[in-house]
């Protein structure tokens, strides 16, 4: 299956599983580099991660808990965001 057939939450889950971490800082550029050439646009990924941080995707296995902005140290001095992604705790169903 190619990356183009995945939705962004699926890409995020695959990226996190492959990294072997349950939480880590990521950038849009890292995700796009991993899933090239079939990756969604950077704007789409950034938009998803930002909405995820605001709680829009409660069903997603991973949540964005922090967003930091930083500036590139070489021209053209672009501003980047990095996202701290954490796996959500698995809910336990309690039967009575």
Q: Please report which confidence band the pLDDT of residue 91 belongs to, taking 50, 70 and 90 as the band edges.
A: low
**What's the rounded mean pLDDT across residues 68-85?**
92
Supply the mean pLDDT for the chain.
Answer: 87
Residue 4 CA, chain-centre distance (Å), reads: 16
3-state secondary structure 9-74: HHHHHHHHHHHCCCEEEEEHHHHHHHCCCCCCCHHHHHHHHHHHHCCCCCCCCEEEEEEEEEECCC
Is residue 86 within 8 Å of residue 23, measured between CB atoms?
Answer: yes
Q: Are strands 62-71 and 23-27 parallel, antiparallel or unpaired?
A: unpaired
pLDDT at 62: 95
In this predicted structure, the answer to whether residue 71 has a pLDDT above a threshold of 50 is yes
**What's the rounded mean pLDDT across residues 65-91?**
91
């Amino acid at each position: 299956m190619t990356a183009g057939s995945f939705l962004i939450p699926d890409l995020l889950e695959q990226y996190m599983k492959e990294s072997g971490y349950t939480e880590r800082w990521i950038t849009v550029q890292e995700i796009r580099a991993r899933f090239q050439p079939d990756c969604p646009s950077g704007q789409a990924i950034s938009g998803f991660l930002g909405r995820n941080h605001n709680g829009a995707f409660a069903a997603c296995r991973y949540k964005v808990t922090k967003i930091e902005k930083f500036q590139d140290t070489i021209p053209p001095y672009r501003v980047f965001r990095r996202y701290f992604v954490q796996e959500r705790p698995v809910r336990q169903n309690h039967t009575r």
